[in-house]
Chains A and B, each alone.
Chain A
Amino acid sequence: MLAEINVWADIIATLMVAVGLGFWAFQIIGNFATGRMKRKFIGKQWPHHDAIVPPLPKIMHGVHVTSMIALWITGLLIRFPVIANGRTPLKYIHFVAMYAVIIIFVMRLQYAFARDRKEFAITLKDIKNSPRVLGYYMFLGKAYPHLMKYNVMQKMTYGLLFPIFLTVMAFTGFGLMWPKTVLGFLAPLAGGVAAAAAWARVVHYLSAMFLLMFTMIHVCLSFIEDYPALLMFFGLTKQEVHAPHGHTTHPPATEPARQHAN
């Protein structure tokens, strides 16, 4: 059964990447067709931000992005080896990137509990607004509903899916490193530690591909919905902050960004 599941895992993973690419194509075509692309990229009608993003979240985000890219590339090359004598060095890079992601993840969780966890809470208003949000991204509605920093889809992705999948990936990843210690308790269920590790490998792989698919969607919406914020988040441009009455200012870095991030 595990053997067949492994074959299916590759098909599912390919389909996930196809969904990610399809989403890009759908968004680009839809934005062009509805004139949103022109309004945004030529008319400069980007979402307004009322607070500057401090350097620390930007750095953390940058390290996270770099590490995740390294994890995907090395992970896929470990599963589908093409580089001669590459497995051992790839594993080392994978481990280093993994520790970086875990450290950033723990720091972000700590920050969320200390500062901004409420921004991820899904409220009744979010649920009521969700059809309109979905309609906007599906090009069924013209206007983007006025929301807080994150919409309901973002809250679910950043506040629920990403933490859950990162935890699952860390657990299965450590399980592959130290099968007896980490997966020992699952051995009776799986039929031995070796079988538990084999299952863990499948789960690890599929979780990685699921995260890749969501990240492709995240990058697509960041690019299309708020290109200046994307550049700003990687330190490529200076952030423009709009005061509540509409004037553009550059206030000092005090609070974390309150923006329509994607």
Chain B
Amino acid sequence: MAIQPIPQRPNRRASMQTRARFSVLAALAAGLCLLFAPAIAQAAPVDFTIGIPGKTGCLVCHGDPKLTEVKSKKVLYISEQVMLGSVHKDVPCTKCHTDFDSALASQSHQGKKTDSKKIAGLSCKNCHEHAKQLKVYDKSTHGRLAMGGDDKAPTCADCHGSHEIKSLKKDKAYKAEFRMSAQKVCGKCHPKYYESYNDYYHGRAYKTGAADAPTCWDCHGAHEILPAAQTESKVAKGNLAKTCGACHPDSRAGFAKFGALIHGRDTMLGKNLLIKYKDKLLTWFGNTFLGSKEAAASVKPAAAKP
């Protein structure tokens, strides 16, 4: 019978020494990590800064005002105060950010980018009360572009706002504020049209805050917006009289032609004969009657010639 070796009991003292050594090494490693943390963060595959404590849910990270994508510098911060002032304050983030998988973290957090903005921007359809608007939006030029995958096509959130969204039905002050925000809502994509909206009673008055002046969607439509070339458009030639008739009683086709001023006043002023030739007239007048400097200058070199 073979004699089994008697297992030696671990030396208690030696074990204590090993632990102490390990602790010192661990402390050193932690110190080094802290020391080189920024460099490590730069090199890490994680593309955002670290969140701050004292928050819950998504705001643990997104409640940090400094939260930005390292490479793109895109701010990922969401103000808790803004969220609390929104009509969606009780709606969980994932109700709109449907691409965020809470179990696996979002694809974007794993480095696989989804168009989270667009997904969230169109997620209004998930609530039954917005179904009607979505049905109309789907047929509009904006909706068709968005559904067709155009990255620049405006989603619900592009016009109505996202985290700060308020109720147009319940909040009258916000409704008035939203009405005056055409530059932000429409002008950011259609700056030329916003700039040219400059006639007397419509554009100019609107831009100075006249509550009774029409905003873009009063004439062009909102969710149902279509290009003027399409016959169903509110601003199509055949529908202009009806559209103008919303404010101008007994508006007919002849009156609708007057609408050429709405976006065309500056162009029409430029085309006006008197204004077109104003500068020429003034130069001629100056040269003829006042003996302008230009006229004198043009004479002197000629006189100096042999």
A4, B260: Cα distance in complex, Å? 9
Q: List 23 A-B contacts (CB under 8 A).
A: A3-B257, A3-B258, A4-B272, A6-B200, A7-B268, A8-B272, A11-B272, A81-B204, A81-B205, A81-B210, A85-B208, A85-B209, A85-B210, A86-B208, A87-B208, A87-B210, A191-B254, A192-B252, A193-B248, A194-B250, A194-B252, A195-B251, A198-B255
A82 at the interface (CB under 8 A from B): yes
Which A residues contact B (CB, under 8 angstroms)? 1-4, 6-8, 11, 79-88, 179-180, 187, 191-195, 197-198
Say whether B252 contacts A6, CB under 8 Å. Answer: no
Say whether, besides A81-B208, A85-B210, A87-B210, A180 and B274 are in contact (CB < 8 Å): no
Q: Is B211 an interface residue (CB 8 A)?
A: yes
Chain A residues, Cβ within 8 Å of B261 = 3, 6-7
* A259-B58 Cα distance, complex, nearest whole Å: 86
Contact B245 A194 (CB under 8 A): yes
Q: Which of A80, A84, A180, A195 contacts B258 (CB 8 A)?
A: A195
Is the beta-carbon distance between A79 and B200 smaller than 8 angstroms? yes
Are A88 and B212 touching (Cβ within 8 A)? yes
Check: B216 CB closer than 8 A to any chain A CB: no
Q: Are A87 and B254 in contact (CB under 8 A)?
A: no
> Closest CB of chain A to B186's CB: distance in Å?
20
The residue of chain B having its C-beta at the shortest distance from the C-beta of A77 within the complex is B208
Check A180–B249 contact: CB distance below 8 A.
Answer: yes
- The answer to whether B205 touches A87, judged by C-beta atoms less than 8 angstroms apart, is yes
User: Does B265 sit within 8 A of A, measured CB to CB?
Assistant: yes
Task: Note all chain A residues with C-beta closer than 8 A to B274.
Answer: 11
Bound: A86/B212 CA distance, A: 11
Number of A-B contacts (CB under 8 A): 87
In the complex, the chain A residue whose C-beta lies closest to that of B213 is: A87
User: Separation in Å of the B170 CB from the closest CB of chain A?
Assistant: 24
User: Interface size on B (CB < 8 Å)?
Assistant: 32
New A-B contacts (7) at CB < 8 Å, excluding given A6-B200, A191-B252, A194-B244? A6-B258, A79-B201, A80-B204, A88-B211, A192-B250, A194-B249, A194-B252
When the two chains form their complex, are residues B255 and A191 in contact, meaning their CB atoms are under 8 A apart? Answer: yes
- Give the distance to chain B from A191, nearest Cβ to Cβ, in Å: 4
Contacts of B147 in A (CB 8 A): none
Contact of B272 among A7, A187, A195, A198 (CB under 8 A): A7
Residues of B bordering A, CB below 8 Å: 200-201, 204-205, 207-213, 244-245, 248-252, 254-255, 257-261, 264-265, 268-269, 272, 274-275
Which chain A residues lie closer than 8 Å to B272 at the CB level? Answer: 4, 7-8, 11
Please classify the interface of chain B as helix (H, G, I), strand (E, B), loop, or mixed, using the class held by over half of its residues.
helix
Q: Which residues of B contact A80 (CB under 8 A)?
A: 200, 204
Contact: A192 with B255, CB < 8 Å? Answer: yes
Tell me the complex Cα distance, A88–B268, Å: 28
Which residue of B is nearest A87, CB measured? B210
Contact of A192 among B209, B254, B265 (CB under 8 A): B254
List the B side residues contacting A6 at CB < 8 Å. Answer: 200, 258, 261
Q: A88-B211, A194-B251 are in contact. Are A7 and B258 (CB under 8 A)?
A: no
Report the bound CA distance from A4 to B245 in whole Å.
Answer: 21
A197 B248 Cβ-Cβ under 8 A: yes
Across-interface contacts of A2 in B (CB, < 8 A): 255, 257-258
The residue that B249 contacts in the complex, of A79, A85, A88, A179, with Cβ under 8 A, is A179
- B270's nearest neighbour on chain A, judged by CB, is A7
Complex CA gap A194/B249 in Å reads 6
Residues of A within 8 A of B268 (CB): 3-4, 7
One of A4, A81, A83, A194 near B255 (C-beta < 8 A): A194
Given A8-B272, A192-B250, A192-B251, verify A84-B257 contact (CB < 8 Å).
no
User: With A87-B205, A194-B244, A195-B255 given, is the CB distance from A180 to B210 under 8 Å?
Assistant: no
Give the docked Cα–Cα distance between A144 and B252 (Å): 56
For B211, the closest partner residue in chain A by CB is A88
